[in-house]
Chain A
Amino acid sequence: MINLLLFPVLIPFLFATILLFFPKKVKAQRVITTLGLLTALVSAFALLWKVKTDGVQSLTLGSWAPPFGITMVSDMMSTLLVTSSLLIALFVVWFSFTSIGIKRETSFYYPAILFMLTGVNGAFTTGDIFNMFVFFEVLLMSSYVLIVLGGEKVQLRESIKYILVNVVSSSLFVITVGYLYSIVGTLNMADISIKLAAIGQAGIVTVIAVLFLIVFGIKGAIFPLFFWLPGSYAAPPIPVLTLFGALLTKVGVYAIIRTYTLFFTTDIGFTHELLMIISILTIIAGCIGALAYFDVKKIVIYNIIIAVGVILFGASVMNESGMMGSIFYLIHDILIKGALFLLIGVIIHITGTSDLRKMGGLIKRYPVLGWSYLIAAFGLAGIPPLSGFIGKLLIVQGGLEGELLWQSIFILASSLIVLLSAIRIFIYAFWGEEKGVQQVQPRTYRHLLAPTITLVVITVLYGVGSEYLVPFMTDATTVLLDPSVYTDAVFGGGK
């Protein structure tokens, strides 16, 4: 099965196509979507196993020789990301059954989610820089559909800005690929890595590195390019927000990590220093936002920005602990953001508002929700033994090994602010006088809570069982720190 690494990309695409035939049959849409995601998830786990036992998988489409055809590469990092994004999508779809509403379900909601997953998984898997642009566009086009679906006024207004920002950043992406092509004359990422290493330190390569940082920084929401994110993400309904918040920025972060470990390794003194400074600034901006708002959606959205900063800081130090911490934290953040958004989705469903000042005292009637929120909040802040702990510990350790004392202390301090911002939601929404509580049918409540609690349990397991994940993370780190593993896998015929 040499095509196995394509299955997590193809299966969502195939099922999305099938769903297009009968948009009005809600039952069939739900069943087929779940079936498709489960199949894709099984194939992703099979791929994970294969990458673990046989090393990096690579396949060049159309049987062309590697630098000429489009290459798809699955190393441990991309496989882990593919698996966790399919997992999140499964929970979001489960949550959507009760919360998204029949009107959206009959207007291509599920196909759009599956097409977006095709784009996300494709961007994680591809080994060709222009093909990455194409997959970015696939996921962006579906995200345009998802953000505007339903056609509320606020959605229309915000989606125009979202589309405009992304169109400009896509143009920049193509321009950057054009510059890169004019230097190395190839698009295959493994080939680019070899050619750039042969060129060595050159001004134009640094320019391209910074341009890539801008392009992926717009998608990944780094400072100062995150300006579009809070407004646009707050517009769509909760399941869509969960999907965006958990996955879309991570694609940008993945692309930054991939290009900065594979391509731009010759002028680390400048490019990675810049990445480090920007990641610190990103954390500051995120912290300010997370404390400034009384809107639950906004608070968690600004926490995405903080997480992006933390992950990039770990990647920028370029040593083993930092990189491993980044990957740990990246997967953790996908899962925990998914869980948190679903939790606040339930809160918003109960209170009917996203304003903290209009809610309170939920713990009396909804204790399970309250306590699982508290666990998720602790996990977000990285309190041991929950999921954020090991990642942050390794990142800080990497920072100290890289002789970045103050920056590492700063990362630790930012955890406190993350904790404060998350606990603020807990204090306002669950403690105090009971207000803003609407009558929610117990059945609906249970249906909303089931996927949410399951996801929280998974994040806890991720934290507690991180011991068993270390071999996987070590594999991922090895590939990132040593590009030759990647290039050898591509040019070695991918057997």
Chain B
Amino acid sequence: MKTNDLIIQTTTKLVFFIIFLFSIHIFFAGHYTPGGGFVGGLLMSSAIVLLLLAFDLKTVKEMLPVNYTVVTAIGLLISIATAAGSIFFNVPFFTHVYDYFNIPLLGKTSIHTAMFFDTGVYLVVVGVTMTIIQMIGGDE
């Protein structure tokens, strides 16, 4: 049975980007306040799940042609590479450093190695959650 999903489909197209931006916001908020890669990643995957609710799996795969296993692998690789950077400086694993940079538009911003680690976490969470959901949902 084909239901008329016009309202949810139209809103989803808009809301998806709002959730996406919010997840990025939460991700950067994790720098000094509550938030971070895990929550941001979950928000991002919830946005994709919303797309899956509004459209079917095939359409979403055409919209976002992403292999989520690869996303997970890239995330893991980023995280471990950031942490392993300390090996080359012969300091204990996971040692973090930060500094302040003057970035155009943003002004004086602190950049922290933990942020790169969190980018990896973000990707892993999105990848794993979507893999699980596709595995259950794709098996009709």
Q: Do chains A and B touch in the complex (CB under 8 A)?
A: yes
Interface residues as binary, A14-28 with B (CB distance below 8 Å gives 1, 0 otherwise): 100110110100000
For residue B90, CB closer than 8 A to chain A, the reply is yes
Give every chain A residue within 8 A of B95 (Cβ-Cβ): 61-63
Complex: A61 Cα to B117 Cα, angstroms: 15
With contacts A10-B80, A10-B84, A17-B80 known, is A62 near B73, CB below 8 A? no
Residues of A within 8 A of B (CB): 1-3, 6, 10, 13-14, 17-18, 20-21, 23, 59-63, 69
> Given that A10-B84, A20-B76 are known contacts, is A2 also in contact with B90, CB under 8 Å in the complex?
yes
Chain A residues with CB under 8 Å of B80's CB are: 10, 13-14, 17
Residues of B within 8 A of A6 (CB): 93
User: What are 21 residue pairs bridging A and B, where the CB atoms are less than 8 Å apart in the complex?
Assistant: A1-B90, A2-B90, A2-B91, A3-B87, A3-B90, A6-B93, A10-B80, A10-B84, A14-B80, A17-B73, A17-B76, A18-B73, A20-B69, A59-B92, A59-B93, A61-B92, A61-B93, A61-B95, A62-B93, A62-B96, A63-B91
Given contacts A10-B80, A17-B77, A59-B93, contact A23 B69 (CB under 8 A): yes
Roughly how many angstroms separate A256 CA and B91 CA in the complex, as a whole number?
32
Task: Answer yes or no: B72 CB below 8 A from chain A CBs.
Answer: yes
**Least Cβ distance of A66 to chain B in Å?**
11
Bitwise, B95-115 to A at CB < 8 A (1) or not (0) is 110000000000000000000
User: At the interface, yes or no: B86 with Cβ under 8 Å from chain A?
Assistant: yes
Chain B residues with CB below 8 A from A2, complex form:
90-92
* Nearest-Cβ distance from residue B66 to partner chain A, whole angstroms: 14
Whether B70 sits at the interface, judged by CB under 8 Å, is: yes
Cβ contacts under 8 Å, B92 to chain A: 2-3, 59-63, 69
Interface contacts beyond A2-B91, A6-B93, A17-B77: sample of 5 additional A-B pairs, CB < 8 Å, sorted by A: A3-B92, A14-B84, A20-B72, A21-B70, A63-B92
> B1 to nearest A CB, angstroms?
32
- Most chain-A Cβ atoms within 10 A of its Cβ — which of B87, B94, B96? B94
Q: CB within 8 A of A62: which of B70, B76, B94?
A: B94
CA distance A61 to B95 in the complex (A): 7
Chain B residues, Cβ within 8 Å of A14: 80, 84
> What is the bound-complex CA distance between A208 and B117, given in angstroms?
36
Which residues from B are CB-within-8-Å of A62? 92-96
Nearest B residue to A16 via CB reads: B76
Residues of A within 8 A of B70 (CB): 20-21
What are the 6 tightest A-B residue pairs by CB atom distance, in nearest-first order?
A: A20-B73, A62-B94, A63-B95, A61-B94, A17-B76, A3-B87
- In angstroms, Cα B72 to Cα A21, docked, is 9
Residue of B nearest to A61 (CB): B94
Name the residue among B76, B92, B95 with the largest chain A CB count within 10 angstroms.
B92
Residue ID in chain A nearest B127 by CB atoms: A20
- Give the CA-CA distance A182 to B31 in the complex, in Å: 30
Q: Complex: how many Å from CA A62 to CA B112?
A: 14
Nearest to B73 among chain A residues (CB) is A20
Interchain nearest-CB distance for A93 vs B (Å): 20
Q: How far is the CA of A60 from the CA of B90 in the complex (A)?
A: 13
Considering the complex, give the chain B residue whose CB is closest to the CB of A62. B94
Q: How far is the CA of A347 from the CA of B132 in the complex (A)?
A: 38
Interface centre among A17, A60, A61 (most CB of B within 10 A): A17
Residues of A within 8 A of B72 (CB): 20
Question: Which of A1, A21, A59 meets B73, CB within 8 Å?
Answer: A21
Interchain CA distance A300-B97 in the complex, whole Å? 51
Q: How far is the CA of A21 from the CA of B71 in the complex (A)?
A: 9
Q: How far is the CB of A401 from chain B (nearest CB, A)?
A: 41
Shortest distance from the beta carbon of B80 to any chain A beta carbon, whole Å = 6
Chain A residue nearest to B67 (CB atoms) is: A21
Beyond A10-B84, A20-B70, is A3–B77 a contact (Cβ under 8 Å)?
Answer: no
Within B37-56, the residues touching A (CB, 8 Å) are none
Residues from chain A with a CB closer than 8 A to the CB of B94 are 61-62
Looking at B70, B80, B87, B93, the one whose CB has the most chain A CB atoms below 10 A away is B93
Complex contacts, A60 vs chain B, CB 8 Å: 92
- Across the two chains, which residue of chain B brings its CB closest to A494? B92
Interface residues of B in 55-84 (CB under 8 A from A): 69-70, 72-73, 76-77, 80, 84
CA distance A308 to B96 in the complex (A): 42
- A258: min CB distance to chain B, Å: 21
Residues of B within 8 A of A10 (CB): 80, 84, 93
Which residues of A are found within 8 Å of B76, using beta-carbon distances? 13, 17, 20
Distance between Cα atoms of A14 and B76 in the complex (Å): 8
Point out the residues of chain A lying under 8 angstroms from B96, CB to CB.
62
What B residues does A1 contact at CB under 8 A? 90
Give every chain B residue within 8 A of A23 (Cβ-Cβ).
69
Among residues of A, the one whose C-beta sits closest to the C-beta of B95 is: A63
Residue of B nearest to A21 (CB): B73
Residues of chain A contacted by B84 (CB below 8 angstroms): 10, 14
Expressed in whole angstroms, the minimum distance between the Cβ of A119 and any Cβ of chain B is 14
State how many angstroms separate the Cβ of B15 from the closest Cβ of chain A: 31
Q: What residue of chain A has the Cβ atom nearest to residue B78's Cβ?
A: A17
CA distance A63 to B90 in the complex (A): 11
Complex CA distance for A6 and B83, rounded to whole angstroms:
12
Chain B residues within an 8 Å CB radius of A21: 70, 73
Taken together as a complex, chains A and B put the C-alpha atoms of A157 and B73 apart, in Å, by 30
CB distance from A116 to the nearest CB of B (A): 15
In the bound complex, what is the Cα–Cα distance between A63 and B70 (angstroms)? 32
Assess whether A3 is in contact with B93, with CB atoms less than 8 Å apart: yes
On chain B, the residues within 8 Å of A20 by CB distance are: 69-70, 72-73, 76
